[in-house]
Amino acid sequence: MPQAPIATPCQNICKIDRQQRFCLGCFRSLGEIAAWVRLTPMEREAVMAALPARRQRYHIVGSHITISGT
């Protein structure tokens, strides 16, 4: 039986903010992006669950991510 594709938050906007070290498209860290295919389904779910809070805490200004309120 073929395996289901791995769900991913990738938005195909693969640009890393050098200071915050998050992708401007999906808000994953470099480590999370690199490890994605090796993570268990539970680990991927944990990363996915953390992304909405990151999007609220950080916002994109130009080509950089800043912390809300700064």
Concatenated DSSP letters of 2-48: PPPPPP----S---B-TTT-BBTTT--BHHHHHHGGGS-HHHHHHHH
CA–CA separation, 11 vs 55, rounded Å? Answer: 13
pLDDT tens digit string along 19-65? 888 898 899 999 999 999 999 999 999 999 999 998 888 877 777 77
With vertex at residue 46, the alpha carbon angle to CA 42 and CA 47, rounded to the nearest 5 degrees, is 120
Closest by CA to 65, choosing from 31, 30, 15, 12, is 15
The pLDDT assigned to 51 comes to 94
pTM: 0.78
